[in-house]
Amino acid sequence: MGVPEVGLAIIPGAGGTARLPRLVGPGIAREMIFTGERYDTKFALEKGILNFVEEDFGLALERCKTIAKTISQKGPLAIRAAKAAMQGTLDCSLEDALKLEE
């Protein structure tokens, strides 16, 4: 796992420079983006990039299905609203994010 684009003399796309600092913090994001280094799953777990790791694909699939089933049993309108609020707050200040959440 990594952000290797600088090795190709380009910057990360798909929100890499905007989303990664919010996920792992600006210091770790700078290191990852500026060095283009690759990181193992232990690092990704520690930094919150991954929620879990399963060595076996079948176990990973079952875990994903369990999570999906748990989510599907919750209020669909609440899930939809929470998803929209979380997505909408990625690109704004905390103050604006709190207003959006309201």
Residue 68 backbone dihedrals phi, psi, to 5 degrees: -60, -40
pLDDT tens digits, 21-64: 888 888 999 999 999 999 999 999 999 889 999 989 999 999 99
CATH code of the domain occupying 1-52: 3.90.226.20
- Distance CA(6)–CA(58), nearest Å, equals 35
Which of 28, 34, 30 lies closest to 4 in space, CA to CA? 34
- Distance CA(73)–CA(35), nearest Å, equals 43
Rounded mean pLDDT of 4-22? 87
Question: Could you identify the residue written with the tokens 């700078």?
Answer: 30
What is the reported pTM? Answer: 0.65
- Domain coordinates in residue numbering, the chain: 1-52, 54-102
Residue 12 CB coordination number (10 Å): 19
